[in-house]
Amino acid sequence: MIRVEKLRKVYKVGGEKVVALDNVSVEIEKGEFCCIVGTSGSGKSTLLNMLAGLEKPTKGKVKINGQLVNKMTEKELAVFRQNNIGFIFQSYNLMPTMTAVENVAFPLMFKGVPQKIREKRARKILAEMGLGSRMNHKPREMSGGQQQRVGIARAFVSKPKVIFADEPTGNLDSATTEQVMKMLLDISQKNDITFVMVTHDPELAKMARRVITLKDGRVINDTRDGVSLLEEDEKIAESFEEETAGEQPEKQAEDEQPVQVPGEQEVSNGHSQAISQ
């Protein structure tokens, strides 16, 4: 479902290069519930953002459902997101002026679904999530847990193939966290949705069958039901063929970063590594 080959991301901060992600190759299967864990700054968010096409990698490939996400234009990405991807944010990111129903129905609006139909679907899913009494409440009239459930409903409403979530329980207390986590596992399983979630909490990650552990931008562990997949990942890396034609050169990708000072010095992220340019 999701295939990542030799993914690399370099940020440039004040003339220094930060390698946020290096040589990441994994494959996530359809319907799999996958947690990306690691300490803060290990590159979890960077990986997730690139999987979801929010950021372009410096090098490497991201394929979802056979489509090369990192090569898509903004326009193609928008349509791709409408039809394939749901996203759950750590800070919920609901539209402040809209009610719960309107928020959940929002992604369907972009697809051109008529108001009546999309709000009916939104109501149904909200009711299923136990928010029947909060349908017409604005975000600020709801608790964090309720808001995140609205956020989850919004991600599921268009029945996407993949849902990405960056620390979806990061702002919730432990009791709510467990509730929400169970809910996520449950719905994604029922709907056969591939779910990729970032968390810094290893305990939470244990609830998932698939766990990818990052450290300093590299995959240090990758297990499915406790069985290591590092060898398979190595094979994926080997299968990677660098496209010369049409490949975005590293230089250009790095130029997209805002600050630029000539004569920059390279700082690797924790361990020494050769950076080819």
Partner 1 sequence: MKISDLLKLSLDNLKRRKGRTFLTVLGVVIGTCSIVMMVSIGVALDKSYDDMMEGMGDLTLIEVYNWSSSGTDTQSMTDKVIEGFSDIPGVRVATPLYRPSQLSMQCASGTNDKYKTYADIIGLNERALADYGYELKEGRFPTATDKEYTVIVGENFAYNFTNQRKQYPNNMVQPIPDENGVIPKPFVDVLNDDIRLQGYTWDENGEKLRIEKEIKVVGVLKGDTSKGYETMYGMIMNLEDLIKLEKEYMKANDIKDPNRGKERSYSQAAVKVNSIEDVEAVTKRIEDQGYQTYSMSSIRNEMKKQTQVIQLILGGLGSISLLVSAIGIANTMTMAIYERTKEIGIMKVLGCELKDIKNMFLAEAAGIGFLGGIVGIVICYGLSALLNTLGASLAGAVTGGVKLSIIPVWLAAFGMGFSTFIGILSGYVPALRAVKITALSAIRHD
β-strand 218-224 against 210-215: which pairing, if any?
antiparallel
CB 233, min distance to ligand ADP, A:
19
User: Residue 166 or 233: which CB sits closer to ligand ADP?
Assistant: 166
55 lies in the binding site for partner 1 (CB under 8 A):
yes
Do 4 and 26 contact (CB within 8 A), yes or no? yes
Q: What is the DSSP string of 194-259?
A: EEEEE-S-HHHHTTSSEEEEEETTEEEEEEETTEE-HHHHHHHHHH-----TTPPPHHHHHHTSS-
User: Residue 33 or 87: which CB sits closer to partner 1?
Assistant: 87
169 lies in the binding site for Mg ion (CB under 5 A):
no
CB 272, min distance to partner 1, A:
29
78 lies in the binding site for partner 1 (CB under 8 A):
yes
Among 23, 25, 45, 103, contact with Mg ion (rule: CB under 5 A): 45
Alpha helices by DSSP H, 6-140: 44-51, 74-84, 100-110, 115-128
User: Residue 74 or 225: which CB sits closer to partner 1?
Assistant: 74
119 lies in the binding site for partner 1 (CB under 8 A):
no
Considering only residues 223 to 262 of the shown chain, the ones binding partner 1 according to CB under 8 A are none
Question: Bridge partners of 9?
Answer: 21
Kindly indicate which of the ranges 90-98, 212-220, 225-233, 268-276 contains the residues binding partner 1, using the contact rule CB under 8 A: 90-98
Kindly indicate which of the ranges 19-27, 104-112, 120-128, 234-242 contains the residues binding partner 1, using the contact rule CB under 8 A: 104-112
User: Residue 42 or 194: which CB sits closer to ligand ADP?
Assistant: 42
User: Residue 159 and residue 30: Cα distance in Å, rounded?
Assistant: 14
Ramachandran area for residue 238 (φ above 0: left; ψ -120 to 50: alpha; else beta): alpha
Question: Environment class of residue 191 by beta-carbon count within 10 Å: exposed (0-12), middle (13-18) or buried (19+)?
Answer: middle
Which residues would be at the binding site for partner 1 (CB under 8 A)? 45, 49, 52-55, 74-75, 77-79, 81-83, 85, 87, 89-91, 93, 95, 97, 106-107, 109-112, 114-115, 154, 158, 166
Which residues would be at the binding site for Mg ion (CB under 5 A)? 45
